[in-house]
Amino acid sequence: MEGVACASFTSSASKSLSFSSLSQSSIITLRQNYHNNTLKSKSPRKLVIRASSGSSSGSVVTLLDYGAGNVRSVRNAIRYLGYEIEDVRTPKDILNADRLIFPGVGAFASAMDVLTKTGMAEALCAYIENDRPFLGICLGLQLLFESSEENGPVNGLGLIPGVVGRFNSLNGFRVPHIGWNALQIAKDSEILDDIGDRHVYFVHSYRAMPSNDNKEWVSSTCNYGDDFIASIRRGNVHAVQFHPEKSGDVGLSVLRRFLNPKSQGSKKPTQGKASKLAKRVIACLDVRTNDKGDLVVTKGDQYDVREQTKENEVRNLGKPVELAGQYYKDGADEVSFLNITGFRDFPLGDLPMLQVLRHTSENVFVPLTVGGGIRDFTDANGRYYSSLEVASEYFRSGADKISIGSDAVYAAEEYIKTKVKTGKSSLEQISKVYGNQAVVVSIDPRRVYVQGPNDVQFKTIRVPKPGPNGEEYAWYQCTVNGGREGRSIGAYELAKVVEELGAGEILLNCIDCDGQGKGFDIDLIKLISDAVSIPVIASSGAGAVEHFSEVFMKTNASAALAAGIFHRKEVPIQSVKAHLLKEGIEVRI
Ligand code: 1PR
């Protein structure tokens, strides 16, 4: 590999430290400490480590997991395809691998820190330089480059020329780049053979750019404001910026082709029409325990989930795992679980919810978000759990993103009052460790009519239809605890502050519209999606396919979420997508 060399690593003292000996908290600490590191000068040198011949059987895949984020999804996808997983515990395991998958998650600096301290970095370089079968995913691609600007500059493995930089949100593209996007295949990559014109799932804020120096590596690019590297290939070495384990059938085929390249002939790619970032259609499952103690999917009318009968039971619309599986098959681009009583029940005590995630992620290969109860908590025995621990448990159980509701409101109120970022709120802590693309803030606003914009200190809009007393203006009051308590902050103010505190996406509900089937609150969604540069998911009120096209045509929402119409089987997800395509709105098919 001329022209590229592994960065110099101070691994001799740390080689004895194995991945398995690192606890989750020590990895988190390593990550946090590494943020202060600066780019060290590189001294390329010849690698002396040589791979020994692989000893694993044909159905075994070696996985390099350093304990950050949702590697469970990759594990599930590999197992779903019929392979067994052997975890890397020492650098030698890398050198002995027949096929190595490296799903990088979390931040660049912390990942490099762990790789360097454990001696894995050097082994990885040797493995790749010997052209052994390798598949890097997301950060697993970025780490192959010389350096990254993420909390840096920070040295990478230095195998591919180039610097990993942040997307520029100034040109109107929302950062993080979240969603299903199209590839431009640059050269034969084999593992991409089934993709053709279909979308694959990306979630990242940083990317590597194609250049003359790295063009021999680039197998595909993706356009999002500018053309960035979507995949690389050289001999047996592959890496993808997108997530095959989250890209549905087409993503599974990428993994299958990597795991068993010889078994499949070249296939004509399935035809699609992917050309750019697709608008997402998300199925949402509000989950809670009913009065009999069963965990059920429920659905409210303006957040009231009880039947209007004498028994006043919690509405039961089905079982969470089954419904999530069904929506995946029906073409949902994401599935969200909201543990709607999480504000009063501690989620780590709520093991069924973790079980739901674990089971769902075994068969659902699109992104999963989970929300409800993410906050610091002290249990009856005085044991303190940080919100970061709660989130980590959700990630370990299969979540790709966590969603914070009430706690984000308190954090924003505090920040507005003190103008100080303490770094201690759940939002700040979780986004620092897992990246802001992993943190959604769920807003539960209610419309409040006023006579004029000067009546309140919050951003108002002129309403197209006057309020009950002829009011011409309204503001959107944030609530906490499932809409039970109104707070002194508007949705507009909250959205702007949570973006600053580290949110990567906003789930924008509307209590007035929830369950009404009369369409999304276009005024609210326009107000918020114009105010922030992170993606906004429009939620509440979908009752017909036209409501989806309306929200995408009239606002800058990146995704639309619905619950009731899907649960009641009034409108299948595929009908929504067919309608959007007919209206010229790009969606994943
Ligand atoms: O405050 O961090 O514990 O999070 C609680 C989470 O639970 C929040 O995301 C909050 O939105 C949600 N939640 C709490 N109570 C309810 C309730 O309904 N009683 N559900 C609730 C919110 C709203 C949407 C719903 C859409 C689409 N549900 O998620 O799915 O409105 O519905 P539609 O298509 O049928 O109109 P924390």
Q: Is 35 a catalytic residue?
A: no
CB 435 less than 6 A from any atom of ligand 1: no
CB 286 less than 6 A from any atom of ligand 1: yes
* Residue 446 contacts residue 519 (beta carbons within 8 Å): no
Question: For residue 303, how far is its CA from the centre of ligand 1 (angstroms)?
Answer: 7
Residue 449: pLDDT band with limits 50, 70, 90: very high
Residue 85's pLDDT is: 96
- Which residue do the tokens 């017909």 mark? 544
Q: By C-alpha distance, which of 184, 155, 153, 185 is closest to 166?
A: 153
294-342 pLDDT, tens digit each:
889 999 899 988 988 888 888 899 999 999 999 999 999 999 999 988 7
* Sequence letter at residue 311: E
Q: Tell me, what DSSP letter sits at residue 306?
A: B
Write b or e for each residue in 24-36: b if 16 or more Cβ atoms lie within 10 A of its Cβ, otherwise e: eeebbebbbebee
Question: For residue 338, how far is its CA from the centre of ligand 1 (angstroms)?
Answer: 6
Element (H, E) at 184: strand 184-185
197-241 pLDDT, tens digit each:
899 999 999 999 999 999 999 999 999 999 999 999 999 999 999
Residue 49's pLDDT is: 31
- Ligand 1: atom nearest CA of 541 is 36
Q: Write down the catalytic residue from 243, 547, 567, 579.
A: 243
Q: Using the predicted structure, report yes or no on whether residue 31 has a pLDDT greater than 60.
A: no
SS3 string, 436-472, reads: HHHEEEEECEEEEEECCHHHCCCCCEECCCCCCCCCC
Which residues are CB-neighbours of 279 under 8 A, at least 6 positions away? 552, 557, 558, 559, 560, 580, 585, 586, 587
Task: Report the DSSP beta bridge partners of residue 160.
Answer: 145
CA distance 377 to 366: 30
CB 482 less than 6 A from any atom of ligand 1: yes
Question: Looking at ligand 1, which residue's alpha carbon is closest to its atom 19?
Answer: 303
Residue 69: pLDDT band with limits 50, 70, 90: low
Q: Is 86 a catalytic residue?
A: no
Q: Write down the catalytic residue from 113, 193, 194, 286.
A: 286
> Hey, which of 36-40, 435-439, 522-526 has the most confident mean pLDDT?
522-526
Tokens coding 442: 């769920």
* Residue 177 contacts residue 205 (beta carbons within 8 Å): yes
N- to C-terminal Cα separation, the chain: 40
Residue 266's pLDDT is: 54
CA distance 204 to 166: 9
Residue 21: pLDDT band with limits 50, 70, 90: very low
* More reliable by pLDDT, 45 or 67: 67
- Ligand 1: atom nearest CA of 483 is 15
Q: Using the predicted structure, report yes or no on whether residue 516 has a pLDDT greater than 90.
A: yes
Strands annotated E in 78-131: 84-87, 100-104
Using the Cα atoms of residue 88, residue 89, residue 92 and residue 93 in order, give the sign of their dihedral: negative
483-501 pLDDT, tens digit each:
999 999 999 999 999 999 9
Q: Using the predicted structure, report yes or no on whether residue 457 has a pLDDT greater than 90.
A: yes
Residue 350's pLDDT is: 59
Its pTM surpasses 0.75: yes
Count of beta carbons in the 10 Å neighbourhood of residue 270: 14
Q: By C-alpha distance, which of 222, 218, 221 is closest to 237?
A: 218
Question: For residue 286, how far is its CA from the centre of ligand 1 (angstroms)?
Answer: 6
For a ligand 1 pocket test, name from 409, 410, 442, 566 the mutation site with the most ligand atoms within 8 angstroms of its C-beta: 442
The mean of the pLDDT values for the chain is: 87
* Residue 497 contacts residue 415 (beta carbons within 8 Å): yes
Tokens coding 152: 């840096």
* Residue 355 contacts residue 386 (beta carbons within 8 Å): no
CB 371 less than 6 A from any atom of ligand 1: yes
Q: Using the predicted structure, report yes or no on whether residue 441 has a pLDDT greater than 60.
A: yes
Residue 55's pLDDT is: 39
CB 340 less than 6 A from any atom of ligand 1: yes
Q: Is 286 a catalytic residue?
A: yes
SS3 142: helix
156-198 pLDDT, tens digit each:
999 999 999 999 887 789 999 999 999 999 988 889 999 988 9
372-397 pLDDT, tens digit each:
989 998 888 888 999 999 999 999 89
For a ligand 1 pocket test, name from 353, 443, 514 the mutation site with the most ligand atoms within 8 angstroms of its C-beta: 514
CB 299 less than 6 A from any atom of ligand 1: yes
Q: Write down the catalytic residue from 122, 393, 444, 514.
A: 444
Question: Looking at ligand 1, which residue's alpha carbon is closest to its atom 7?
Answer: 340
* Residue 260 contacts residue 525 (beta carbons within 8 Å): no
Residue 2's pLDDT is: 32
Burial of residue 452 (CB within 10 Å: 0-12, 13-18, 19+) is: exposed
CB 521 less than 6 A from any atom of ligand 1: no
Q: Is 444 a catalytic residue?
A: yes
* Sequence letter at residue 413: E
CA distance 374 to 232: 37
For strand 377-378 and strand 384-385, is the pairing parallel, antiparallel, or unpaired?
A: antiparallel
* Residue 358 contacts residue 70 (beta carbons within 8 Å): no
CB 515 less than 6 A from any atom of ligand 1: yes
- Ligand 1: atom nearest CA of 517 is 36
Question: For residue 302, how far is its CA from the centre of ligand 1 (angstroms)?
Answer: 9
Question: For residue 535, how far is its CA from the centre of ligand 1 (angstroms)?
Answer: 18
CB 305 less than 6 A from any atom of ligand 1: yes
Q: Using the predicted structure, report yes or no on whether residue 90 has a pLDDT greater than 50.
A: yes
Cis, bond preceding 466 (omega within 30 deg of 0): no
Q: Is 393 a catalytic residue?
A: no
* More reliable by pLDDT, 419 or 39: 419
Please compute the mean of the pLDDT values over residues 452-459 and round it to a whole number. Answer: 96
126-167 pLDDT, tens digit each:
999 999 999 999 999 999 999 999 987 999 999 999 999 999
Percent of the chain with pLDDT over 70: 87
Q: Write down the catalytic residue from 6, 125, 138, 513.
A: 138
- Ligand 1: atom nearest CA of 284 is 30
Residue 544's pLDDT is: 98
CB 407 less than 6 A from any atom of ligand 1: yes
* Residue 336 contacts residue 579 (beta carbons within 8 Å): no
CB 347 less than 6 A from any atom of ligand 1: no
